[in-house]
Structure 1
Amino acid sequence: MAKDLVVPLAPNVWRIPLVRDLVNGFALRDDDGQVTLVDMGISRSGPKVLAALAAIGSSPSDVTRLVLTHAHPDHAGGAAHVARATGRGFTVHHDDAAYASEGTSPPRDRSFLLGRLFDRMARPGRDFEPVVVEREMTDGEVLPIAGGVRVVHTPGHSPGHVSLLHEETRILITGDAIFNVLGLRWPVKAFCTDFRMTQQTAHVLGELDYDLAAFTHGAELRSRPREAIRRFLLSHPAR
């Protein structure tokens, strides 16, 4: 297994570093060999996702599910490439489904100048290549992935942003609710649809049970991650 292409998190669960540790996707494999891929990185990350698939001994034909935590170009940029290779559509939360289908980022937080500028530049199909959404997920449902992945709707970064809890291995994928880049931190304010809501909904991550926190931006936390996230949330309350 090429360790630079994947980072094992638990049996049959891997982090895929797509831009070093700064942008990550994930792979989960069922006991029968079916593979689910979560987040596809930036526009040039598609081939890297497929290389990671080969590194874990699987092929595009083994992929039965593609999931996006949200419809931003650093997560959906490589999505169309992976969809063509696997012949699969995407599972996206209902509130981000239309954006993924159009290749357009959701609105940015217009209380910030940079957010207003990003909104002015947004054009359908130009943020990332549109993808086919074949399934819309909802808060609290358990996706039939590797023993069960619970959907935790954490809107604010985008309307349909989700975190994912793999209950069997007790791994939490935070999505962009919280970054782990030079320590725990909030996502960039202007990249959020509603930054204050991002802060508010992230507090649910301190109430879940997990033994490892995996981030779409930054390396995982393996030692007492729930306590670390709780400390962060207490010291960085919504304002």
Structure 2
Amino acid sequence: MAHPPATELVPGIWRIPTVGRAQVNSYAFVDGDGSVTLVDCGLRSAPPRIVAGLAAMGKHPSDVARIVLTHAHPDHAGGAAELARQSGAPVAVHVDDVPYAVQGRAPRPDQSLRAGRFLARLPGGGFPPVPVGEDLTDEQVLDVGGGLRVVATPGHSPGHVSLLHEPTRLLVTGDAIFNVLRLAISPRPLCSDFRMTRRTAHRLGELDYDAVAFTHGPEITEGGREVLRAFLARTVTARTPE
């Protein structure tokens, strides 16, 4: 059975899968005036799937008024330049990831890890340079659907952010936490600083929300805060492996 091109999670917020059923996700926030804020743009090959997702919502790239990236990795920023071109929308990235976004390269993986040092030597890993029009900062509240709060959760990348939509009580974790097969902290070799990833993930347990949306994996629509807090208590508080 074909996967739906877009799924409404709460009123006005849609998940658009760009790989598989939910292996890699983008999100669309529809404002009262009909404009769309797009969160993450998938791989370089993702724009057609995102455009199809918008069409399923009755929207077009011309309705996109802003693009927000949770971080500057190829599976999140890869399609951003093309979607910015199609929509004319400005792209917003946390200030600490802006240098990577505009150069079209991911931050170096954690060099304290053997796997990170190995991955850093591999070719590739780039994406089309992103024309950043807005620098995001921690606790900034974007004028999106009544307020979209930027929550800095660095470690997966220097400027990684999660996003809290307080009006609908929905949290987008970005890559701070994955939900592919099971809940998990971002894999160590994929982080620029794995120990920081574990520390900053605690912020997500301190926020107030009901539903949790992941950029990798399906959402939790009920009791999300309790599920995440229990996960963090048994996982993140454990001693970080050397």
Q: Same fold (TM over 0.5)?
A: yes
2:131 aligns to what?
A: 132
- Kindly provide the amino acid, as one letter, of the partner of residue 4 in structure 1: P
Output aligned runs, 1:68-87, within 5 Å: 68-87=69-88
2:119 aligns to what?
A: 118
Identity of aligned residues (%): 54
Output aligned runs, 1:31-42, within 5 Å: 31-42=32-43
Deviations 1:112-158 (A, max 9, x none): 222112223367xx610001000001000100111110000000000
1:93 aligns to what?
A: 94
Task: Write the distance in 1 (CA, Å) between the matches of 2:41 and 2:115.
Answer: 25
State the Cα distance separating 1:3 from its structure 2 match. Answer: 6.8
Name the SS of the counterpart of 2:139 in structure 1: coil
Task: Write the distance in 2 (CA, Å) between the matches of 1:164 and 1:137.
Answer: 11
Q: Is the 8 A contact 1:47 1:81 kept in 2?
A: no
Output aligned runs, 1:41-80, within 5 Å: 41-80=42-81
Task: Write the distance in 2 (CA, Å) between the matches of 1:232 and 1:48.
Answer: 32
RMSD: 1.4
TM-score normalised by length of structure 2:
0.94
2:169 aligns to what?
A: 170
Which stretches of structure 1, 4 residues or more, deviate above 4 A after TM superposition?
none
- Kindly provide the amino acid, as one letter, of the partner of residue 172 in structure 1: L
Q: Is the 8 A contact 1:104 1:122 kept in 2?
A: no
State the Cα distance separating 1:179 from its structure 2 match. Answer: 0.5
State the Cα distance separating 1:79 from its structure 2 match. Answer: 1.2
Segment of structure 1 superposing worse, 229-238 or 191-200: 229-238
Task: Write the distance in 2 (CA, Å) between the matches of 1:41 and 1:61.
Answer: 19
Name the SS of the counterpart of 2:97 in structure 1: helix
Q: Is the 8 A contact 1:89 1:131 kept in 2?
A: no
2:227 aligns to what?
A: 228
Task: Write the distance in 2 (CA, Å) between the matches of 1:25 and 1:39.
Answer: 5
Deviations 1:62-114 (A, max 9, x none): 11100100000010111112111111231000000110000010121012222
Structure 2 portions without partners, runs of 5+: none
TM-score normalised by length of structure 1:
0.95
Name the SS of the counterpart of 2:55 in structure 1: helix
Q: Does the C-alpha gap of structure 1 residues 145 and 3 become closer, same or farther in structure 2, counting only changes over 3 Å? A: farther
Task: Write the distance in 1 (CA, Å) between the matches of 2:50 and 2:133.
Answer: 20
2:215 is the alignment partner of 1:216: yes
State the Cα distance separating 1:220 from its structure 2 match. Answer: 0.3
Structure 1 portions without partners, runs of 5+: none
